[in-house]
Amino acid sequence: MTMNTKPVYLDNAATSWPKPEHVARAMQTAMADIGANPGRGGYAQARAAGRLIHDTRILAARFFNAPDPARVIFTPCATYSLNMALQGFFKKGDHVIVMGRQHNAVIRPLHDRRLGVKVSRLVWNDTAPLVKELARVQTKKTRALIVNHASNVDGFLYPLDTIGRAAKKRGLTLIVDAAQGAGNAAIDMRRQNIGILCATGHKGLLGPAGTGLLLLNAGIELMPLIKGGTGSYSDKEAMPAVYPDRLEAGSLNLPGIAGLGAGIRELMKLGLEKSIAKKMRRTEQAHAALSKIPGIRLYWPAKKELRIPLFSFSIDGIDPAEVGDMLDHRHNVACRVGLHCAPDAHREIGSFPEGTIRFAPGIYTTAAEVEHFIHAVREIAGCL
């Protein structure tokens, strides 16, 4: 047994940790010094809360190159954003094309009979012309193409530049699940022709749990999923037509949004490319070492340009859940195991139904921590 006294946290694909100091500080300031409800009063504290929300919208719009900060909607998470997008955009009888190693946050809403949408799944080989592949499955009722930007299982990164151009040529609205992509790859809503972008705040954007983003391009209209108080147009029985009020019923998570803004600022200060490169070095360090251990199966795209900094693996003859338990109890290493809420992704890569163990470093993961992880896996695989 080689218990490490300090936890080695390698589950950043689920939630990033530790958070930057500025995140906790911003949340504390929002609670201790502001405290009021944005848009629910004209006094100084309420105005300060409103400014904080407004400034964070502008920041998120700049980070993703979204055309209008008013169309940056705050949500509790990417799952909530995706439900708002899918249930607000589609009508019964519509057809949608889905590509990428999809998460249940997309699969389950689409397969809800009440939504009444027909779904075609496109498994795309990046060597085939995407425009022709889309034309093969597109119908007169196809309204959108949904892509999981980056897989939370094997780190497969779908090229949004190529996909956005193809969707535009076929007249399809591009809906992007960026739960893993945001903070792990560059996203540009204008250049990549993204109609709807759904992201979470607590992963690559370094913010707290309970925060998410829904960004809409010009011309995209959604029916509200939740209806209620907005602090505006209170004399009307219907939800306001203006954004963001139309999609933000109820009180916003002021401390969470403050923390999300601080996380994005820290990421911009570090530099997105530099932070990705650092995580990629840690991922390559682990992947190279594990590739030399007999009995280990690795799941990570062969092409470097189609990778984000996470991969999955399994050890022949040992259940992934058992490996995760040994990593935790014997070595104080935290890794997510199982199907990762993405069974279709595991079907694609051939790891269903057992699942895998996932390696997902963060911006603060050290080379020494990765070496400790490698040593632990070697010991579990019986190679020491």
Segments of the chain assigned to CATH 3.40.640.10 = 21-270
Pairing of strands 311-315, 356-359: antiparallel
What per-residue confidence (pLDDT) applies to 39? Answer: 78
User: How many CB atoms are located within 10 Å of the residue 324 CB?
Assistant: 21
Report helix, strand or coil for 144: strand
Q: What is the pLDDT of residue 229?
A: 84
Question: What is the pLDDT, as a whole number, of residue 1?
Answer: 47
- Closest to 157 in 3D by CA, of 298, 278, 301: 301
CATH 3.90.1150.10 segments of the chain? 271-380
Whole-Å CA distances, 84 to 45, 105, 175: 30, 11, 12
- Residues 308, 296: contact at Cβ < 8 Å? no
Please report the pLDDT score of residue 199 as a whole number. 98
- DSSP assignment of 318-351 equals B-HHHHHHHHHHHH-EE-EEE-TT-HHHHHHHT-
CB 331, CB 9: distance < 8 Å: no
Which segments of the chain are extended strands (E)?
8-9, 72-75, 95-99, 118-122, 142-148, 173-177, 196-200, 212-216, 296-299, 311-315, 333-334, 336-338, 356-359
CATH number assigned to the domain covering 21-270: 3.40.640.10
Residues of the chain below pLDDT 50: 1, 384
Pairing, β 212-216 against β 72-75: antiparallel
Closest CA to 149 of 90, 190, 189, 108: 189
Q: Which two tokens stand for residue 325?
A: 């338990």
DSSP string, 180-199: TTBTTB---TTTTT-SEEEE
Going 219 to 76 to 308 to 97, the CA torsion angle's sign is negative
Instruction: Give the β-pairing of 336-338 and 356-359.
Output: antiparallel
- CATH topology for 271-380 is Aspartate Aminotransferase, domain 1 (3.90.1150)
Instruction: Please tell me the predicted confidence (pLDDT) of residue 129.
Output: 86
| Cβ-based neighbour number of residue 21 at 10 Å | 10
